[in-house]
Structure 1
Amino acid sequence: MKVVFVVDAYFPRYAAVEKCAKNLVDVLLREGHEVTVIAKRYWDSPVNLTDDLPEDVLFVSTSLSKMRAQVDCHLAEASCCFGWRLADRACALVNYFGTLAGRSCAHWDLVEAYRKAIEELGFVPDQLVPCSSPFEGVIACVEYSKQHPEVKLTPVIFDQFADSGTLCKTRFTRELKRKANIAVEREALEASNLVLNVTWDEHVRKYHPDCSGKLVHIEHPLLVRPKENLQSSDKRGDGRSLVIFAGSLSAGVRDPAVALDIFCELEDVAHLDMYVMGAGRDLVQPKSSEHPNAVSLLDAVPSSEMTSLLAKADCLLSIGNTRSDQKPSKVVEYMATGKPILHICSIADDPVRDDVSAYPLGCVINAGEDAVCARETVRAFLERTRGKQMAFDEVSALFHDEDPEIAVERLLNCGGAPPHSRDLL
């Protein structure tokens, strides 16, 4: 069967959604399917088709994304250059005003770029699997399937659209575009055979209750057996536990303040290495400067190096989101290592809380609890679990739904193509 995935970033960069997509692709390839991935081109994307992957990968661009790629390329070489930083902000403003100008939050130029790439594949896919974000990929697949109703459409929704705090950065934008965004979601649901999702159930029940029957719940398909030995050792040579956080941070979304306060008081038993990307580095820098013996701010590492990085840790730090309708995938990657996991909840209904609580080497701290109590809980946890590690098969037996093979089984279990209705945009 010929399966086409539509994603945002891909090789050599894999954000959370694309890591999930890549795991699904790998399972499909092992099962003998032909897989093509259509992704958005970034500054470090291959110029042409890459021979580094068994799947075919095509990259698309818009006028703005081409400009943004050039700016990012210069920033990678000279990140402190004021001119290129200003150009980066200018691109962000252009993108924001483009969102405001459109009927919905979707950008039609990106929709067209994806749709055209599917049209020019030279074959009609048996199944289209757009993975949000971006939702433009979902829209493009809906538009394509209107002309090819025999194609099975099975979006995999990891992120919100109408209720996205990332896409709609302000309440004004979210409310201004809500009606149109809901309409876009509606047609995507109507056009799809099945919709696999992680946290979209409640939203669909509220706004599209008659489409709830198409939803199939999955967990993040990131529980993959590591390819190398992940046994840690005393890398620092001082007897302290090495705790690692690797990912993105954002004020108001995923804030490290509580974690930093805890570890700044635990430098006698632990050192926290924070590999942070983007603007979130500014949230860590003051504490790392004031307490260098407790916290280190380090550059983010590419996905290809993540396993080796996590292998160094005695404990892995997870920081919860401030919204319950988006479930961070990082904790599943952490579980695959078998290492102890410390998770700090920002909200009472944190969607990761139960997973970490069920993990035998897990510890959950609530952001609002007494600081001294939280610190001593972490201290005891680090001392109790230092040097301990679960075998992958033990973790897999406990968290079966996070296995990519389970998600692929559900992905392929879809019926005939549904009828199409009105235009999306």
Structure 2
Amino acid sequence: MRFEEPVLLYGAGREAFSTRQFLKSRQPELKVFVTVDSGAADIPEAEPIAAGDLPKAIADHRFGLIVKSPGVSRYKPIFDLARNAGIPITSNLNLWGSAYRHGRTVIAISGTKGKSTTATLTHLMLTHSGVDAGLAGNVGLAPLEIADKHPVVVFELSSYQTADMNFLPDIGAITNLYPEHVDWHGSVERYYADKLHLIDRDGGFAVALGRAARANAIVARAVRDHRRLLRELTEAEETAIKAATASSRLRGAHNLDNALLAAQIALAAGGALAGVVAGIGAFRPLPHRLEEHAVGALTIVNDSISTTPEATKAALAAYPGRRIALIAGGHEREQDYTELAGLLEQRGVTTLVTLPVTGPRLAEAARNLSPRMSVVEVADLEAGIRALADMRERFDTIILSPGAPSYNQFKNFEERGRRFVALSREMFGAGALDQNAE
């Protein structure tokens, strides 16, 4: 692989940094530019081009290829301008495919929710089976960082990455499919098409589907030929996986579904049942995904990764028998909260704290459908935690499971989750409780 013209990196995150390292290792003399929509264009040995100057740079053909970061929507008009000028757009993932795909077994896992857990479990199951497998994508390493280090690669891929993925996996898996990321894709229909581009293609690769994906007609059409589907688990295999999951750190029915899907994939990719069971036992919850903290007498659950109502429902179902204070709400993506609001009391929620911008819609639905529950609308997360301190007797568990993205008040879900845990420790830790009792 050789680049005959300069390259533009659009975006300056982890993937862009690894792309720059890859380009330098291949062609040290190659000219590289970088453009960002916000923040610093802080990529070593890359000359910045302001976003407003791109149309002229494209017209002048200052570069011959654009490598787009996942967070930058492929539907930005500037990319149409580039294509019309004969400048192709690619990605870190597709560069990996061109450089390293040949001779490797590729497992690509996507879905609206559960893909990180499923990919992590699949990787653990394979490595505990003695398979030399690596983990990359949204968890583990960026694709070009993993390079050619392993003969088997498990990719966890977002819809941003599957949208223009130009090589085929050996196994493509979809956990589930719900509306999400409409602002990036432009419509729910386009989101579905971009997500399912992972499997909705010609080729003889195998397909694995999670329980929710199997029940989805849109996913079923994307499978095309159902002879692609991996074999079902045997009764003995399913029994062993359920027993291992019950004694593991995987909480909730949705995580059992993730474990069953991961096992199906791992067994098809050379894993053994003993390795599958060991992998489940070795699993540790990923940050911000039902991440538990004991704070005083309370259980604090950081589920900031939950950016859809469906994910919030799964989080609540993982804590049966608890008296729950739920903190929810965030960036507006026009999601429907009616079903979630109607389930809150059934799931043990005694107190609901809602955050802007979606909070008022959820609060209104909750008051109509769950009238016995206390509902408090607040301006920000700190105000929400303070409100809960005055209602301490109503709950034994606080769950941050927003059912919405974080962008209106936080840089990302990680920042939101860390802030939640810190505020909870400040307000409900032993020292705070002693102070409150004085």
Larger Rg: 2
How does the TM-score come out when normalised to structure 2?
A: 0.28
